[in-house]
Amino acid sequence: MRTALLAFALLLPAGGALAAPCERKPLLAGAVATVNALATDAGIRALQQGGNAVDAAIAAALTLGVVDSHNSGIGGGCFFLMRRADGEVFAIDGRETAPAAATRDMFVRDGKAVSALSLKGALAIGVPGSLAAYDMALRHAGRLTLGAALQRGRLLAERGFPLGPVLAARLNAKADDLATFPATRASFHKPDGTWSAGETFVQTDLARTYRALQRYGVDWFYRGPFAQRVAAWMETNGGLLTARDFAGYEAKRRRSVRSRYRGLEVIGFPPPSSGGVHVAQILGILENFEYSWKSFHTYLHVMAEAMKRAFADRAHWLGDPDFARVPRNLCANGYCDALAESIDPERAAVVEHGTPPRALEEVFGKHTTHIAAADSDGNWVAITATINTSFGSKVVIPGTGVLMNNQMDDFAAQPGVPNAYGLVGAEANAVGPGKRPLSSMSPTIVLRDGRPFLTLGGAGGPTIITQVSQTIVNHVDLGLSFEDSVAAPRVHHQWKPDVLFIDGTWLAGEPARLERRGHVVKRRAGLGVTQAVGRRPDGSFAAVSDPRVDGERRGRARTWDPRAPVSSGAR
Ligand code: DON
């Protein structure tokens, strides 16, 4: 492997990735919201160094891969959505791809899907796409380089950072799993005790990887030593991924999903995300109803019924559009109106009976991460990134510090068999070579009179779709501030199981009223994590990080203005 690295060093010009842009542009004001203050700080620094919202969001994303590595990282995938100042929209698909040797029944043993295989270890891993997507986005719309975006993360990996309470708790909770593979054990496991918040967490191998990426660019990852290391590890651990799979990976520019909601334009992410289609569909159904605080219980009921219908369609129709025929009209007005027509405002409908998912308690977490950013030039960015469940496949590729995803679990291992989030799928989302698993990630940008005023997205598997829909409705229909729209209690229905999940914070009256309308109601803590940046009527930015994230709140969402260089904190 050392020889491969050397050969690579001889082949590529050194230092290019860190080169500063020659043109000096005015500093931009802006806002960044993430789940971690160190990552948000990296984003704000990018603005202070002359970057725009794209540089800020990507610097934050690459820093999250170091300081919040159980949720996302360069071993995973992402969807990057942006509306550039000139009005051009970029939807860059950095979703993982299945290996060329993948087969539709690769997770089936003795006729049954074995979730342990799609969740942990070699077979769970797809070719990661985040780096390719960030590289493409920076080339199209950034002001700074990939090297600059990696810098803060590299330093934090090299020198260490005080472990936050969330990561410390996750490391302890998953200690057994993290001890399975030697390189993972070396990076994340502590044999003689537990991790505590505040202790310094160093990731030397990951720092070296970030440094190599700064020096050699993404080819080092996809066509160089990293790909070779993965291939070597796969060969000895029963995996299917090859260096060829890595060399063939490409981030894809997709056509965004555009819809209208009460006169606003909503831009969402298209398949292989189901997010854009179903946020648009839910809003399209809701547009047939009027809400006010007075009719609030009807609002919750209708919202649940809209979600149920959207998730039923998701299970049947959605998959990688390069492999499956995904109908184009799922969020068309006529179809949404027909779905709205089928809703009884007084009574919950049974859309279909189904098998409940295997582990209800595990259905929703707060893994994955969303980064929202905007700048005073008019660039608006939404990135949702993930390695899927907490610590992904639990595999660190030896010598690299890179924790690999378990995104293969987002395929339907067998028709109708639920994945880790209780989601079922059909043929459209069956495993296939080179195919991208269906996602719920929903980076979204909303425009009023042709100008963006809100960028948002979330973490939490299927609840991402319902979080984004409700945050928009909270602001647009109920008139809540951006902060309150994110913080307000939520509901979630995903068709199967036929259960209406409601935030733990709802008052006692609501569940009872919903039950009287025929819903099976269960309380859940949280229902996901949303990040948003909004622009208020006076032109100022509101940066919002969901209060549901545990631990220290300060600094997770920040605005910055070069004319008033004291950074203002937000929620
Ligand atoms: O792409 C998806 O839909 C999932 N892999 C996202 C995972 C997620 O949000 C984890 N949070 N609980």
The pLDDT, as a whole number, for residue 9 is 42
* Same domain, residue pair 355 and 385: no
pLDDT tens digits for range 480-508: 999 999 999 999 999 988 999 998 778 77
* Same domain, residue pair 51 and 20: yes
For residue 153, tell me if it sits in a domain.
yes
DSSP at 415: T
For residue 314, tell me if it sits in a domain.
yes
For residue 570, tell me if it sits in a domain.
no
pLDDT tens digits for range 326-373: 888 899 999 999 999 999 999 999 886 333 333 333 445 667 999 999
What is the C-alpha to C-alpha distance for residues 278 and 442, in angstroms, rounded to an integer? 9
* Same domain, residue pair 124 and 59: yes
- How many Å lie between the centroid of ligand 1 and the Cα of residue 295? 33
Mean pLDDT of the region 409-428:
88
Rg, Å, the chain Cα set = 22
* Same domain, residue pair 264 and 242: no
38 in contact with ligand 1, CB cutoff 6 A = no
* Same domain, residue pair 383 and 276: no
Confidence class for position 415, pLDDT limits 50, 70, 90: confident
Whole domain around residue 262: which residue ranges?
A: 257-364+441-535+544-554
- How many Å lie between the centroid of ligand 1 and the Cα of residue 440? 7
The catalytic residue among 242, 368, 444, 530 is 368
The pLDDT, as a whole number, for residue 505 is 78
* Same domain, residue pair 446 and 380: no
| CATH at residue 466 | 1.10.246.130
Q: pLDDT higher for 46 or 549?
A: 46
For residue 429, tell me if it sits in a domain.
no
pLDDT tens digits for range 163-172: 988 899 999 9
For residue 412, tell me if it sits in a domain.
yes
For residue 426, tell me if it sits in a domain.
no
pLDDT tens digits for range 26-55: 999 999 999 999 999 999 999 999 999 999
pLDDT tens digits for range 104-150: 999 999 999 999 999 999 999 999 999 999 999 999 999 999 999 99
* Same domain, residue pair 247 and 271: no
The pLDDT, as a whole number, for residue 386 is 98
* Same domain, residue pair 62 and 6: yes
- How many Å lie between the centroid of ligand 1 and the Cα of residue 247? 25
For residue 473, tell me if it sits in a domain.
yes
**CA dihedral for 191, 196, 199, 200, sign (positive or negative):** positive
Query: How many domains is the chain partitioned into structurally?
Result: 2
386 in contact with ligand 1, CB cutoff 6 A = yes
Task: Please check the confidence at residue 540 and state whether its pLDDT lies above 50.
Answer: yes
Active site residue 368: yes
Locate the ligand 1 atom nearest the alpha carbon of residue 459 and give its number.
Answer: 9
Q: pLDDT higher for 19 or 382?
A: 382
Tokens describing residue 399? 């010598």
Question: Which residue's CA is minimally distant from atom 6 of ligand 1?
Answer: 461
530 in contact with ligand 1, CB cutoff 6 A = no
* Same domain, residue pair 408 and 264: no
Q: Which of 60-64, 162-166, 284-288, 482-486 has the weakest average pLDDT?
A: 162-166
- How many Å lie between the centroid of ligand 1 and the Cα of residue 385? 9
Confidence class for position 423, pLDDT limits 50, 70, 90: confident
- Measured from the Cβ of residue 243, the count of other Cβ atoms closer than 10 Å reads 19
The pLDDT, as a whole number, for residue 566 is 55
365 in contact with ligand 1, CB cutoff 6 A = yes
pLDDT tens digits for range 14-32: 333 444 444 678 999 999 9
Show the beta-strand stretches assigned E in 55-148: 77-83, 89-94, 108-109, 112-113
* Same domain, residue pair 51 and 188: yes
For residue 51, tell me if it sits in a domain.
yes
Buried b / exposed e along 70-99 (16+ C-beta atoms within 10 A)? bbbbbbbbbbbbbbbbeeeebbbbbbbbbb
Q: What is the dihedral of CA 541, 546, 550, 556, to 10 degrees?
A: -20
* Same domain, residue pair 79 and 159: yes
Q: Is the Cβ–Cβ distance between 453 and 539 less than 8 Å?
A: no
The pLDDT, as a whole number, for residue 565 is 53
The percent of residues in the chain predicted with pLDDT above 90, rounded, is 80
* Same domain, residue pair 451 and 522: yes
